[in-house]
Amino acid sequence: MSHTIVNTGPKKAQRSQLALPANRFDFFEKAARSPADAIFLDLEDSVAIEDKHKARDNAVKALNEIDWSDKLMLVRINGLDTQYMYQDLIDIVKHCPRLDRVLIPKVGVAADVYALDMLVTQIEKSIKRTNRLGFECLIETALGMSNVEQIVASSQRVEALSFGLADYAASLGTRTSTIGANHPDYGILAQEGKHNFIEQDMWHYAQMRILNACKSHGLCAIDGPFGDFNDKKGYRCAAKRVAALGFDGKWAIHPSQIELANEVFKPSNEEIEKAQAIIQAMQKAQAKGLGAASLDGELIDIASIKMAESILSKALVA
Ligand code: COA
Ligand code: MG
């Protein structure tokens, strides 16, 4: 309904989401001590087939034995099209009270979420789990993108979406082999300079569609991996672009990307000061019975209050 009020601000900071292959026990302590807001223990694509069972056992052990402080903890289960998924879900829901969310890969249709919700609800009931598990759905196939509006509405458990750039590129047939990067051929020739090539952002449509779907249901929108972990400038640029749109965070596939994400997704001091100035100026305007005013030569009105509050809410959780 158009009058439904959707709280679009994140409830907990999720600026950086570290990917942690669950068979790499040697990474765990470092990850736990890192400044990552969120961590997902991966049972899916960073784990070789022969390690699937070991990775699952590791994830259960790690969630119970390691101090993850107040991080948002997720496990990425295997896909619904594999023979591993059901046992992944049963083990982690049954034995990991510390788990916050299940990260579901390759969600294609709303019924995928329904199937998992039904199973999780039964397990939660049987073990009397008091803190309800959330879901984060990975949109990383053409099918998932086509159904993203139904997926965000599929269950009360869905708290966030992540954009899986690598699988999505493969699903579309995009001619790139660098995870999360732009293809240098994707651009236009500028009219004015005739042969002046300008590179364009090839992920804009997909990211904007995910963001819009998330915010229509008050969910967090998280951008996915950037594979070239030595390219800090490239990571920062990709992160800043989606942060400007409204995304709440981005994956880190290496510890060196965590602080970059934390910095980019926290509004800057200038943004915070401007937001505060807008609210103060609007309070003065409203005390005089005005709905619009000018601040430093710019129009501000009641919508400006909402824009400012949205920026301040991101600063508050970060
Ligand atoms: N989480 C926690 N710690 C990590 C880490 C991660 N994802 N990746 C690397 N580290 C640690 C290493 O153990 C090393 O620690 P040390 O300095 O105490 O010895 C340090 O960070 C530097 O690691 P480095 O040598 O630069 O990387 P690597 O060659 O060991 O590993 C990757 C590189 C890409 C294989 C590794 O970062 C990785 O597995 N990333 C996650 C992949 C993933 O989850 N993919 C699925 C989602 S896209
Ligand atoms: Mg994937």
Q: Is 27 in the pocket of ligand 1 (CB under 6 A)?
A: yes
Mean pLDDT computed over every residue of the chain:
96
Query: Percent of the chain scored above 70 by pLDDT?
Result: 99
What is the whole-number distance in angstroms between the Cα of residue 123 and the centre of ligand 1? 33
Identity of the amino acid at 84:
Y
Angle between helices 269-287 and 302-317 (to 10 degrees): 140
Give yes or no for residue 253 CB within 6 A of ligand 1. Answer: yes
pLDDT class of 111 with cuts at 50, 70, 90: very high
33 lines ligand 1 (CB under 6 A): no
Q: Whose CA is nearest to atom 29 of ligand 1?
A: 254
CB of 254 within 6 A of ligand 1: the answer is yes
- CB of 99 shorter than 6 A to ligand 1: no
Residue 194 has pLDDT above 80, yes or no: no
The pLDDT, as a whole number, for residue 317 is 87
Ligand nearest to the CA of 170: 2
Indicate whether 79 pLDDT > 80.
yes
For residue 197, the CA-to-ligand 2 centroid distance in Å is: 31
Query: Which atom of ligand 1 is closest in space to residue 31's alpha carbon?
Result: 2
- Classify strands 101-104 and 72-76 as parallel, antiparallel or unpaired: parallel
When pLDDT is averaged across residues 265-284 and rounded to a whole number, the result is: 97
User: What are the φ and ψ backbone dihedral angles of 18, each rounded to 5 degrees?
Assistant: -80, 130
Confidence label for 6 from pLDDT (cuts 50, 70 and 90): confident
List pLDDT tens digits, range 220-256: 999 999 999 999 999 999 999 999 999 999 999 999 9
Pocket test for ligand 1, best of 27, 40, 42, 232 (most atoms within 8 A of CB): 27
Q: Measured between alpha carbons, how far is residue 7 from residues 253, 310, 313 in Å? A: 29, 10, 11
Higher-confidence residue: 128 or 316? 128
Q: What confidence score (pLDDT) does residue 200 get?
A: 94
Residue 228 Cβ contacting ligand 1 at under 6 Å: no
In angstroms, what CA-CA distances link 35 with 14, 20, 74, 102, 226?
Answer: 11, 14, 16, 21, 18
Ligand 1 contact, 227 CB (< 6 A): no
Do residues 73 and 32 lie in contact, with contact meaning Cβ atoms separated by under 8 Å?
A: no
Task: Give the 3-state secondary structure of residue 132.
Answer: coil
pTM for this one?
0.96
Number of the ligand 1 atom closest to the C-alpha atom of 34: 2
- The CA-based angle 18-222-101, given to 5 degrees, is 65
Q: Output the residue whose Cα is nearest ligand 1's atom 45.
A: 46
CA of residue 180 to ligand 1 center, whole Å: 17
Phi, psi (degrees; rounded to nearest 5) at 152: -65, -25
CA atoms of 27 and 156, how far apart (whole Å) = 33
Q: Is the pLDDT of residue 75 over 70?
A: yes
Task: Find the angle CA(27)-CA(29)-CA(34) to the nearest 5 degrees.
Answer: 90
Mutate to test the pocket of ligand 1, among 253, 256, 258 (most ligand atoms within 8 A of CB): 253
pLDDT over 90 (residue 5): no
Q: Which ligand is nearest to the CA of 105?
A: 2
Half-sphere exposure of 181 (CA within 13 A, CB side): 16
Per-residue pLDDT at 291: 95
Structure tokens at 157: 């458990």
